Structure 1
């Protein structure tokens, strides 16, 4: 074997080869790397220069945790007046013992800004409550108006029905007494369409006169009085009485409400 060729079985060659046992060297290298990283992190934290706010906070906390010494002039005056450390303020020692806590202002708002914000928030809350109350009142009023309208429509339909019944009864009772023409046109039910057209033509030929249109309620009252006075009849009882005395004695009244 020549001198230039290496002996692969010699100790000199084997010492150059790294240990390749699985797992052992890898775990060791990882632990060492993590340890170096932690040491470097701690070193960076120690070497980092604290900001002015951090230094101010530490100084303030240190001062608050330490009690006032006898060298303080104010504390010396209190001791001359009989005050003892740990005792409450006041003649009888009933006052506060701990110092007044500090409220550090961290924002950039001026003095009184918190009160302004609080007042503004209360005003907005009150405005919201007023809007809610107004909405509830409008909803309540709308509901009441709807109920009133429905009640009015129901009453009007009932009056219309009672009027039609009274007209039919009036026509029948008048016919039984030989009356061929109603006292008023609306005392009897409306005629057929042809008769109505002829009647309208006759009215157009006559001189125009101002006529006050009666409501269904007015017509019902007038026709009820006619039926009770002439025929002794009550549409709500559905009975023709013998005379006025019989009618007044046995009929509850001259309105639908009297018969409920």
Structure 2
């Protein structure tokens, strides 16, 4: 065997590959290295020099946890006046036992600034509450107005429908009794005829002054749908013994009063 060739079973050859290990051992070595590095970082943090604020805070907490020693001049004066450790202040010993707690100021505001900030925060909170209450009141009022408007429109549509039914019934009942002309124009349904159109054209040719006076008179005596309904239903009940809500023509007034619930739509609900 030549010198260049090495015996793969020799110690020299094995020493060259002693660091080469299976994959599992490699993972274990990596984990150990990471663990050592974490311990090293933790040790550095522990040994880090503390800042002045941290040292001041630790010293203050240590001092507050420890009681005043007999070497303190103020404590010595209290003892001469009869004070004993753990006893309350005052002649009867009913005063404060523990020291007044410290309120460390952390910001750079002047004396009294905290009170100003507190009052300002309270005012802003009160303003916010007032806005919320006003908003809630407006929403409630808007909802009530909407409901009132819807209810009013529904009632107006009902009145218009009852008035039309009354006009048709009035025309039919009057015709059965031989009445050819209604007591009032609006007692019967308005019919759109050619004669009406001619009358309207003739009225347009009239003097504007007379037209204006007639319009003013009509405006004065104009009745609402509700008023017309009340007048017309009274006419139907008094002349024809008829109730539009019952849909019945009664024999006489006694029969009407005995069997009809009333003279309004609400009485028939």
Per the normalisation by structure 2, the TM-score is 0.72
Separation of aligned partners in 1, 2:255 and 2:119? 78
Provide the residue aligned with 2:69 in structure 1.
69
C-alpha change, 1:180 and 1:58, in structure 2 (3 Å) is: closer
Displacement of 1:235: 0.9
Map 1:45-124; keep pairs closer than 5 Å: 53=53, 56-57=56-57, 59-61=59-61, 63-124=63-124
1:52-91 CA distance string (max 9 Å, x none):
5456445544544443333433222221222112323334
Displacement of 1:171: 0.6
Provide the residue aligned with 1:223 in structure 2.
232
Separation of aligned partners in 1, 2:196 and 2:151? 33
Separation of aligned partners in 2, 1:243 and 1:205? 49
Provide the residue aligned with 1:254 in structure 2.
263
Bigger mean CA offset, 244-253 vs 216-225: 244-253
SS in 2 for 1:104: coil
**What is the aligned counterpart of 1:22 among 19, 22, 25?**
19
Provide the residue aligned with 1:147 in structure 2.
147
Separation of aligned partners in 2, 1:143 and 1:62? 64
Bigger mean CA offset, 140-149 vs 82-91: 82-91
The number of residue pairs the alignment matches comes to 234
Q: CA RMSD in A?
A: 3.4
Separation of aligned partners in 2, 1:202 and 1:175? 29
Displacement of 1:169: 0.7
1:136-188 CA distance string (max 9 Å, x none):
11111111111111111111111111111111111111111111111111111
Map 1:199-214; keep pairs closer than 5 Å: 199-204=199-204, 207-208=210-211, 209=214, 210=216, 211-212=218-219, 213-214=222-223
Provide the residue aligned with 2:185 in structure 1.
185
Provide the residue aligned with 1:9 in structure 2.
none
Structure 1 residue runs of 5 or longer lacking an equivalent are 1-18
Separation of aligned partners in 1, 2:58 and 2:262? 97
Q: In the alignment, does 2:169 pair up with 1:163?
A: no
Displacement of 1:202: 4.7
Provide the residue aligned with 1:4 in structure 2.
none
Separation of aligned partners in 2, 1:66 and 1:258? 89
Structure 2 residue runs of 5 or longer lacking an equivalent are 1-15, 21-28
C-alpha change, 1:83 and 1:242, in structure 2 (3 Å) is: same
SS in 2 for 1:90: coil
Per the normalisation by structure 1, the TM-score is 0.75
Provide the residue aligned with 2:127 in structure 1.
127
